[in-house]
């Protein structure tokens, strides 16, 4: 009887430890994805800032840059005019995580 109780308690403890390990692993994966998503967002933001800098220097500038390395990721950007409106499309990538940002540029002149 005591042996059965001890084995039952041990089995329950191992089961709870397994559940805790699974939850911790999933939490770590979600945290890592969120962290990388933030990094990719700021890479896209860096691409927008570079495009705005180019446009501030030359409002007629149109062009693109692809896979510019920065930190542990890359960014790409494209500046184009459509129906008289200048658009900036930016992409930040960290591994498989991709964040996109599109803005309309207005000259400060």
Query: Given this model, what pLDDT does residue 5 score?
Result: 82
Six token digits for residue 53: 């800098």
Those residues of the chain that have pLDDT short of 70 are 108-109
Outline where DSSP puts E strands in 1-109. 63-70, 73-82, 85-94, 97-105
pLDDT at 82: 92
The confidence score (pLDDT) of residue 108 equals 63
For residue 56, the model assigns a pLDDT of 92
Three-class secondary structure of residue 22 per DSSP: helix
Sign of CA dihedral 33, 89, 66, 59: negative
Residue at token pair 């890479």: 43
Distances from the Cα of 34 to the Cα of 26, 53, 62, angstroms:
12, 29, 33
Going by C-beta distance under 8 Å and a sequence separation of 6 or more, which residues neighbour residue 98? 40, 91, 92
Structural domain span for residue 92: 2-105
Note the pLDDT tens digit of each residue in 65-88. Answer: 999 999 999 999 999 999 989 999
- Domains identified in the chain, total number: 1
Query: What is residue 38's predicted lDDT score, i.e. its pLDDT?
Result: 95
């Amino acid at each position: 009887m005591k042996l059965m109780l001890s084995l039952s308690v041990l089995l329950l403890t191992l089961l709870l430890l397994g559940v805790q390990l699974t939850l911790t692993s999933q939490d770590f994966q979600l945290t890592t994805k969120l962290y990388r998503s933030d990094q990719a967002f700021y890479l896209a933001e860096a691409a927008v800032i570079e495009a705005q800098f180019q446009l501030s220097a030359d409002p007629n500038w149109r062009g693109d840059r692809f896979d510019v390395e920065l930190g542990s990721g890359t960014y790409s950007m494209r500046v184009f005019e459509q129906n008289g409106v200048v658009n900036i499309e930016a992409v930040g990538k960290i591994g498989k995580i991709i964040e996109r940002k599109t803005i309309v540029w207005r000259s400060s002149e």
